Amino acid sequence: MIYCGPMLKKIFLFYYNGFRTMTWGRSLWAIILVKLFIMFVILKVFFFPDILERDFQTDEERSDHVIEQLTNP
Amino acid sequence: MIESIDMSLVDWSRGQFALTAMFHWLFVPLTLGLAFIVAFMETIYVRTGDIEWKRITRFWMKVFGINFAIGVSTGIILEFEFGTNWSNYSWFVGDIFGAPLAIEGIMAFFMESTFIAIMFFGWNKVSKRFHLTATWLTAIGANLSAVWILVANAWMQDPVGTRFNPETARNEMTSFWDVFLSETAVNKFLHTITSSFLLASVFVIGVSAWFLLRNRNIMFARRSTVVASVFGIISAVATIFTGDTSARIIAREQPMKFAAMEALYDGQTHAPLVAVGAMRTDTTRIPNPRQEFIFKIEIPNALSYMAFLTPNGFVAGINDLLYGNEEQGIMAYSERVERGAVAINTLKDLKKAKDRGDEGAHAMLVEKFQDPQWINDYYQYFGYGYYKDRSLEEFIPNVKLNFYAFHIMVILGGHFLILSIIALTLSMRNRWGEKRWLLWVALLTIPLPWIASQSGWIVAEVGRQPWVVHELMPTLSAVSRISPGAVQLTFWIFLATFTALFIAEIKILTTQIKKGPEEE
| Structure confidence by residue, pLDDT tens digits, B136-160 | 999 998 888 888 889 999 999 999 9
Output the CA–CA distances (angstroms, integers) from residue B208 to B226, B430, B437, B443, B486, in the order listed: 10, 14, 14, 8, 45
| B244 & B315 share domain | no
Q: Report phi then psi at A48, rounded to 5.
A: -125, 65
Q: Using a CB-CB distance cutoff of 8 angstroms, which residues of chain B are in contact with residue A47?
A: 84, 486, 489-490, 493
Give yes or no for B114 touching A (CB within 8 A). Answer: no
Is cis: bond before B397, omega within 30 of 0?
Answer: no
> Considering the domain boundaries, does residue B399 fall inside one?
yes
Task: Indicate yes or no: CB of B80 within 8 angstroms of CB of A44.
Answer: yes
Cβ–Cβ below 8 Å for A47 and B92: no
Which amino acid is present at B83? G
Residues 117-176 of B with CB under 8 A from A: 117, 120-122, 125, 167-170
CA distances from B165 to A15, B75, B365 (A): 48, 29, 12
CB distance B477–A70 less than 8 Å?
yes
Judgement on whether residues B340 and B451 belong to the same structural domain of the protein: no
Of B277, B293, B328, the one marking the end of a domain is B328
Residue that is last in its domain, among B305, B328, B351: B328
In-domain check, residue B3: no
Question: Chain B partners of A64 at a C-beta cutoff of 8 Å?
Answer: 351
Question: How far apart are the C-alpha atoms of B292 and B515, rounded to whole Å?
Answer: 51
Whether residue A1 lies inside any domain: the answer is no
**Could A47 and B84 be called an inter-chain contact, meaning their C-beta atoms sit closer than 8 Å?**
yes
Rounded average pLDDT over B21-36: 94
Q: Which residues of chain A are within 8 Å of residue B62 when distances are taken between CB atoms?
A: 24
Asked if the structure places residue B9 within a domain, the reply is no
pLDDT digits (tens, 9 = 90+) for B201-254: 999 999 999 999 999 999 999 999 999 999 999 999 999 999 999 999 999 999
Q: Is residue A56 part of a domain?
A: yes
Residue type, position B456, single letter: G
- Range of the structural domain that residue A67 is part of: 6-71
Same domain, B267 and B409: no
Cis previous bond, B466, omega within 30:
yes
C-alpha angle with apex B500: B496 to B501, nearest 5 degrees? 120
d(CA B257, CA B17): 20
The pLDDT, as a whole number, for residue B200 is 98
Tell me whether residues A28 and B512 touch, CB distance under 8 A. no
pLDDT digits (tens, 9 = 90+) for B393-445: 899 999 999 999 999 999 999 999 999 999 999 999 999 989 999 999 999 99
Q: What is the DSSP string of A38-72?
A: IIIIIIIIII---HHHHH-SSHHHHHHHHHHHHH-
**Residue burial B333-350, b: 16+ Cβ < 10 Å; e: rest:** beebbebbbbbbebbbbb
CA distance B437 to chain A (A): 33
Residue B11 located in a structural domain = no
Residues of chain A contacting B169 with CB distance shorter than 8 Å: 63, 66-67, 70
The rounded distance, in Å, linking the Cα atoms of B446 and B289 is: 35
Specify if B10 maps to a domain: no
B461 and B345, same structural domain?
no
Cα distance between residue B339 and residue B349, in whole Å? 15
Domain endpoint, select from B279, B301, B328: B328
Domain that holds residue B339: 333-394
Q: Classify residue A44: in a domain, yes or no.
A: yes
Q: Is the peptide bond before B287 cis (omega within 30 degrees of 0)?
A: yes
Backbone angles phi, psi at B233, to 5 degrees: -65, -45
Q: Does residue B82 sit in the same domain as residue B138?
A: yes
| Residue among B7, B84, B518 with most chain A CBs within 10 A, to mutate | B84
Cis omega (within 30 of 0) on the bond before A73? no
What's the confidence (pLDDT) of residue B363? Answer: 92
DSSP state of A25: H
B-chain residues within 8 Å CB-CB of A72?
A: 348
| Highest mean pLDDT, choosing among B212-221, B285-294, B492-501 | B212-221
Query: What is the residue-level pLDDT of chain A in tens, covering all 73 positions?
Result: 455 577 888 888 888 887 777 777 788 888 888 888 888 888 888 888 888 989 999 999 999 999 988 997 5
How many residues does this entry show for chain A? 73
CB atoms inside a 10 Å sphere around CB B442 = 27
Residues B508, A36: C-beta atoms closer than 8 Å:
no
- Total of domains in chain B: 3
What's the number of domains chain A is made of? 1
Number of H helices, E strands in chain B: 21, 6
Distance of CA B493 to the CA centre of its chain: 24
Helices (H) and strands (E) in chain A, counts: 4, 0
B347 closest CB neighbour out of A17, A29, A70: A70
Which of the two residues, B486 and B37, has the higher pLDDT score? B37
Q: Are residues B198 and B54 both part of a single domain?
A: yes
Backbone region of residue B123 per phi and psi (left: phi > 0; alpha: psi in -120 to 50; beta: other values): beta
Which residues, listed in sequence order, are joined to residue B298 by a DSSP beta bridge? B274
> Over the stretch B68-110, which tens digit does the pLDDT of each residue have?
888 777 778 888 888 899 999 999 988 777 766 777 767 766 7
Same domain, B57 and B170: yes
Q: What is the dihedral of CA B112, B114, B119, B124, to 10 degrees?
A: -170
Residue A48: list chain B partners with CB under 8 A.
Answer: 80-81, 83-84, 490
- Does residue B4 belong to any structural domain of this protein? no
Distances (CA, A) of B147 to B20, B81, B385: 19, 21, 32
Residue B216, Cβ neighbours under 10 Å: how many? Answer: 13
Question: Does residue A30 lie in a domain region?
Answer: yes
